Amino acid sequence: MKALKLIGRWLGPESPLGPAVSGVVVSFLLFLAAVPAIRFGLWWLSVWGL
């Protein structure tokens, strides 16, 4: 839980990195989360031949 609070503080509005950097970090994390989902979706489509 401490790690989440620390990450939240670093990515929050009062982030020492600034809103632009934290926005880039958040979008990068979302991209990393989306890659496996996209690959699974493509695999699913290829399995069913759609």
Per residue in 3-31, pLDDT (tens digit) is 767 666 666 666 666 677 777 888 888 89
Cα–Cα–Cα angle for 43, 49, 50, nearest 5°?
Answer: 95
- pLDDT of res. 40: 92
Is the pLDDT at 47 greater than 80? The verdict is yes
**Helical spans, DSSP H, in the chain:** 2-11, 19-48
What pLDDT does residue 13 have?
Answer: 61
Q: How far apart are CA 47 and CA 15, in angstroms?
A: 44
Task: Output the CA–CA distances (angstroms, integers) from residue 25 to 30, 37, 40, 41, in the order listed.
Answer: 9, 19, 24, 25
In the prediction, which pLDDT does 39 show?
A: 93
